[in-house]
A = this chain, B = another copy of it.
């Protein structure tokens, strides 16, 4: 196996140290480097201070140093000047970058200031990395071409701290260039999305399958979050990437055979997208009747662009009066069973489906807490129902966690119920 390639991630910005901005860039960069076979060894977060930046550049003893932040046009952004000092170089005007900057300002209908034009002044000894989303260029320093006796790493890459700009630059230029320059061991990944079972029970359930992975030289990572567990399979491609892809694919197929009811998607998919795509493919529509989730499922559905093609709307029936008047729940049904019950959940689903004349509907009624629980129906008790062309299905769950966690788990579980019905009918 080839030698391990390592990286240091330096994040620059006063706002990160005082907790005004959470440093999400470092984790994302670490993950992306991992996906191309480079191990992030250390993240160093510092303020916009010359000495701190110089020290951090000099200390980094990895192959690659990734630097983000401090490239804005204002005085407090000093990364570019400090890089010049570290590498013993000076700034020079890049006319093609200046043109890009002027074009960018024209496109947003504003006049560039002198400080904006100055963003075309870049270190003479670096390779400039174009920024397709903003005016701060990235910089790639190959140490072999620099006067930097204290530099221990082979390559230093400086990128803007704005996440959208950095990510584009990383994916389009930096990661491909790292793969070309370092030939890290090629790694193949697939990430399988599951819901409906916690991490430890899932691990027990697929124990035998997991044990069989090592013979195929596949690594497994569990990535849990409330309501879902992602399973990431990784294999080194060694000399033959096709063979690694084949090894992973056949293990994923086995997994689909083992836990078909738990897998809802793959990669970067989200549940609301999976459900939306199924509805769109069927040419069918959806309505919602939410009680304890208070509009959160509706928010998830409508966070997907284009959701108006299949989502007509919903009713948030927080008060019992709304359940009766908008959804047609009989008052004696509420009195007899309570609002958190199977008959009420089912009637909410059929009621909203009829009122909004859709093909499908979901209803949720439960106790999100922290108050409102009883001995018989403790906090976390949630009834969910799905109504469709062929009938109505319902189930009860007892979720644990905070009010926010119960809401999130209820949303995922109810969307997954609908997903299964949509697949079942297909």
Could you tell me which A residues sit within 8 Å of B by CB distance? 16-24, 26-32, 34, 40-47, 52, 59, 221, 223, 288, 290, 293-299, 301-303, 305-308, 311-319, 321-322, 325-326, 355-357, 369-372, 403-404, 407
Contacts and interface: CB of A to CB of B under 8 A. Distances in A.
A46 B42 contact: yes
Contact of A41 (B42, B47, B322): B47
Given A305-B370, A305-B403, A23 B18 contact: no
Given A23-B23, A43-B45, A355-B325, A302 B318 contact: yes
Given A19-B27, A295-B298, A326-B326, A313 B303 contact: no
A303 B19 contact: no
Max chain B Cβ within 10 angstroms of own Cβ: one of A43, A223, A295, A297: A295
Chain A to chain B: the 5 pairs with minimum beta-carbon distance, closest first: A294-B302, A295-B298, A19-B31, A295-B295, A19-B27
Nearest to A49: B41
23 contacts: A16-B30, A17-B41, A19-B26, A23-B26, A23-B43, A41-B46, A42-B44, A42-B52, A288-B295, A288-B316, A290-B298, A293-B302, A295-B314, A296-B302, A305-B403, A307-B318, A308-B372, A311-B318, A312-B321, A313-B318, A314-B315, A319-B356, A322-B356
Nearest to A230: B20
Contact of A313 (B27, B221, B315): B315
A355 to B, nearest CB: 7
Contacts of A298: 290, 294-295, 298-299, 316
B316 A322 contact: no
A416 to B, nearest CB: 19
Nearest to A294: B302
A45 B313 CA distance: 45
Contact of A322 (B26, B302, B312, B403): B312
A256 to B, nearest CB: 24
Given A19-B28, A319-B356, 7 more contacts: A296-B299, A303-B404, A305-B403, A307-B318, A308-B318, A314-B315, A326-B326
B325 A319 contact: no
A16 B22 contact: no
A211 B239 CA distance: 65
Nearest to A32: B19
B52 A34 contact: no
A336 B253 CA distance: 55
B31 A43 contact: no
Contact of A326 (B30, B313, B321, B407): B313
A372 B46 CA distance: 43
B321 A357 contact: yes
Contacts of A321: 312, 356-357
Max chain B Cβ within 10 angstroms of own Cβ: one of A23, A297, A311: A23
A319 B308 contact: yes
B17 A40 contact: yes
B302 A299 contact: no
Contacts of A316: 288, 295, 298, 302, 313-316
Contacts of A299: 293-296, 298-299
Contacts of A24: 22
